[in-house]
Amino acid sequence: MAAVDENAEALGVSRKQLMESSGNAVAREVREVADPGASVAVVAGRGNNGGDAFVAARFLADHDVSVHLLGRRETITTAISRENWGALAESDIPAEEVSDSRALDFGEPDVLVDALLGTGVSGAPREPEASAIDAINESEATVVSVDVPSGMDADTGETPGAVVDADRVVTFHDAKPGLDGETVTVADIGIPEAAELFVGPGDRNVLGRDPQAHKGDFGKVTVIGGGPYTGAPALSAQAALRAGADLAYVACPEPVADEVQGYSEDLIVEPFVGTRLQPTHVETLLDRASERDVVVLGPGLGDADDTLRAVRQFLADYEGRAVVDADALQVVPDVDTEATLVCTPHQGELVKMGGPRESEWRDRMAAVESFAADLGHTILVKGAYDIVTDGEATRANRTGNPGMTVGGTGDVLAGATGALLSVTEPVDAGALAAYANGRAGDDAVAENGYGLLASDLLTRLPHALYDDD
Ligand SMILES: NC(=O)C1=CN([C@@H]2O[C@H](COP(=O)(O)OP(=O)(O)OC[C@H]3O[C@@H](n4cnc5c(N)ncnc54)[C@H](O)[C@@H]3O)[C@@H](O)[C@H]2O)[C@@H](O)CC1
Ligand SMILES: [K+]
């Protein structure tokens, strides 16, 4: 929800607007259960759940409303909620701060609005909230809970401690689990569909960095590539580093090893004999891969018969995480593997894999989703709108521009996906890599115009993935 929220903000719908809509929805619900003039007591906590209720109070001028904040105004946790508390002070609505739940006296109202705890709760309610919940439950009033009955975990529906016994719940945007017996209203609060459908800056929240981290915690990525092409594996491995991986290795044929190393001293090159990947290399590569977090298989490998045979053997015995790109993709549909794969085809490669041809992007989303479900792997289809799906969760990405049709941008994407796959789940890795790759391309074009090189994306990846703006 926090990610969707941030994406909405980036699309021009601010957090404050969402709170206004939420509060308005709560007020509408109260008007349904209580006629004008009825008494309404709002019991609010210090988070945004309480903030929603401060807004609701402003929309209930026809009712006899009082607001009871459990805590002092200085302890309200968010700026927006504090501003809405401030707005109450400018109205003639009686609003009191109560630090001790024993001092909480809301009388015998017709309606109680429960806004103590929402999706921000963790664990069983502590004091003074727990006693306040008991007090609400002892009241004869009709209880309207904001978002979830206070004390209920919004993700699981579990109630590890005291929980409000609600008559009605006004929940926002999406239904929540664990609600039955109450009358539930799912209120549309104006979050644009695009905030959920398209990858946005909020999705980056899964990429935390622990200050205590050690070298290697953010991924060791091996790119198996090169042969006919040398730039591709070097771009992928450098992209893995720029996307946050700690170590990037390139396993490539001996004759191209110097060239690959020549692109960057940051890469650890592990050559194998011969001019291209062959079945005899597979055992050693599997050994090394078992010490790494993710393998990126494909960039620059070519499609010689014995190379594709080697790819097939590798995947059949590999049990870790891998990004499969370029010529290696055609092997995936007929290989039986325990590995967790993120496949990164463009439209033509997808068709070669037996995937759908739909051209309209929404139709393609649905078709690729069911293809991924059949395949049993995550797919990231590159295009004007990238589609990322594991057969259940499906996202689209619309960063990027026509300048990115230049060679090598797919290698950068595969490497970035590899880095992110070592720290997040497959769909998130694909979605974020597509977003960052496209944004890096947009930044490059904004600075220099068209004529960008794939290598221009590399230094722009960190900003696209990790900067706040
Ligand atoms: N997109 C969104 O995320 C939206 C959220 N909205 C509202 O914002 C709410 C979430 O707000 P917040 O994240 O501020 O969180 P909450 O308002 O749910 O509660 C956070 C407060 O409770 C405290 N707390 C946490 N666990 C506790 C426990 N076990 N015992 C006692 N206190 C505890 C925290 O320290 C914090 O002060 C939602 O439920 C909803 O009502 C709405 O404004 C609409 C949009
Ligand atoms: K609540």
Could you tell me if 179 and 323 lie in one domain? Answer: no
- Domain hosting residue 219, numbered range: 201-466
Could you tell me if 298 and 394 lie in one domain? Answer: yes
pLDDT digits (tens, 9 = 90+) for 51-88: 999 999 999 999 999 999 999 999 999 999 999 999 99
Cα 172 to ligand 1 centre (Å):
13
Could you tell me if 164 and 244 lie in one domain? Answer: no
Could you tell me if 156 and 227 lie in one domain? Answer: no
* Whole-number pLDDT of residue 278: 98
Contact status, residue 24 vs residue 18, Cβ threshold 8 Å: no
Contact status, residue 364 vs residue 356, Cβ threshold 8 Å: yes
Nearest ligand to the C-alpha atom of residue 21: 1
Could you tell me if 97 and 224 lie in one domain? Answer: no
Could you tell me if 156 and 241 lie in one domain? Answer: no
Establish whether 399 is an annotated binding residue: no
Cα 464 to ligand 1 centre (Å):
29
Could you tell me if 183 and 209 lie in one domain? Answer: no
Reference 109, options 57, 161, 71, 150; nearest CA is 57
Please give all residues whose beta carbon lies within 6 A of any atom in ligand 1, as ranges. 1-2, 5, 18-19, 22, 45-50, 52, 77-78, 117-126, 129, 146-147, 172, 189
Strands annotated E in 116-155: 142-146
pTM here is 0.89
Of 169, 193, 217, the position where a domain reaches its end is 193
Establish whether 411 is an annotated binding residue: yes
Q: Which of 121, 134, 185 has most ligand 1 atoms within 8 Å of its beta carbon, as the pocket-test mutant? A: 121
Cα 27 to ligand 1 centre (Å):
19
- Cα distances (Å, whole numbers) of residue 248 to 169, 293, 323: 51, 10, 14
Of ligand 1's listed atoms, the one at least distance from the Cα of 51 is 43
Calculate the average pLDDT of the chain. Answer: 96
ipTM more than 0.90? Answer: yes
Could you tell me if 374 and 339 lie in one domain? Answer: yes
CB hemisphere CA count around 382 (13 angstroms): 26
Could you tell me if 220 and 366 lie in one domain? Answer: yes
Could you tell me if 9 and 140 lie in one domain? Answer: yes
Cα 363 to ligand 2 centre (Å):
39
Of 146, 166, 193, the position where a domain reaches its end is 193
Cα 140 to ligand 2 centre (Å):
18
Could you tell me if 155 and 269 lie in one domain? Answer: no
Neighbouring CB atoms inside 10 A of 319's CB total 12
Establish whether 346 is an annotated binding residue: yes
Q: Which of 119, 133, 179, 205 has most ligand 1 atoms within 8 Å of its beta carbon, as the pocket-test mutant? A: 119
Of 193, 222, 255, the position where a domain reaches its end is 193
Domain at 261, CATH number: 3.40.1190.20
Could you tell me if 312 and 421 lie in one domain? Answer: yes
Nearest ligand to the C-alpha atom of residue 129: 1
Domain at 50, CATH number: 3.40.50.10260
Task: Walk along the chain (469 residues) and give the pLDDT tens digit of each residue.
Answer: 889 999 999 999 999 999 999 999 999 999 999 999 999 999 999 999 999 999 999 999 999 999 999 999 999 999 999 999 999 989 999 999 998 888 899 999 999 999 999 999 999 999 999 999 999 999 999 999 999 999 999 999 999 999 999 999 999 999 999 988 789 999 999 999 999 999 999 999 999 877 888 888 899 999 999 999 999 999 999 999 999 999 999 999 999 999 999 999 999 999 999 999 999 999 999 999 999 999 999 999 999 999 999 999 999 999 999 999 999 999 999 999 999 999 999 999 999 999 999 889 899 999 999 999 999 999 999 999 999 999 999 999 999 999 999 999 999 999 999 999 999 999 999 999 999 999 999 999 999 999 999 999 999 999 999 987 6
* Whole-number pLDDT of residue 1: 83
The total of structural domains in the chain comes to: 2
**398-414 as b/e, with b when 16 or more CB fall inside 10 Å?**
bbbeebbeeebbbbbbb
pLDDT digits (tens, 9 = 90+) for 174-218: 999 998 878 999 999 999 999 999 999 999 999 987 788 888 889
